[in-house]
Amino acid sequence: DTGVSQDPRHKITKRGQNVTFRCDPISEHNRLYWYRQTLGQGPEFLTYFQNEAQLEKSRLLSDRFSAERPKGSFSTLEIQRTEQGDSAMYLCASSSRLAGGPGEQFFGPGTRLTVL
């Protein structure tokens, strides 16, 4: 399967702990996005990479959040000192200028984070 993959699928942690999620985009896609989705809401944009460059960050991405895409392939999203309000589904998506055109982002299955 060559779709977007995310790991882990589920993460339960205690408040104050650090967590890291990984996203592997579709191999030929140079654009990678992170979104957060809480219950009953649509996904909210967090950040966007083109190759290894982080081009845009949402105000939702507080200083406890950091995302990287060191070699322009997979990406990691780290949350430090987790809070209960961080509990959500974290979605990764990828796209390519050549595949589908603007905005046709291919989403992964998400990582569901629960902070106790």
Which residues contact another protein (rule: CB under 8 A)? 31, 33, 35, 40-45, 48, 55-56, 58, 89, 91, 93, 95, 100-110
Report the residue number, 25 or 43, with the smaller CB distance to another protein: 43
3-state helix/strand/coil string of 61-88: CCCCEEEECCCCCCEEEEECCCCHHHCE
Phi, psi (deg, nearest 5) at residue 85: -65, -10
- Please report how close the Cβ of residue 81 comes to another protein at its closest, in angstroms: 26
Which C-beta is closer to another protein: that of 14 or that of 103? 103
Comparing CB distances to another protein, the nearer of 40 and 85 is 40
| Least Å from the CB of residue 84 to another protein | 21
Residue 81 makes CB contacts below 8 A (sequence gap 6+) with 16, 17, 18, 64
Q: Which is nearer to another protein, 18 or 38 (CB)?
A: 38
Task: Report in angstroms how near the CB of residue 32 gets to another protein at its nearest.
Answer: 10
Burial track 89-111 (b if 16+ CB lie within 10 A, e otherwise) = bbbbbbbbeeeeeeeebbebebb
Q: How far is the CB of 16 from another protein (least distance, A)?
A: 27
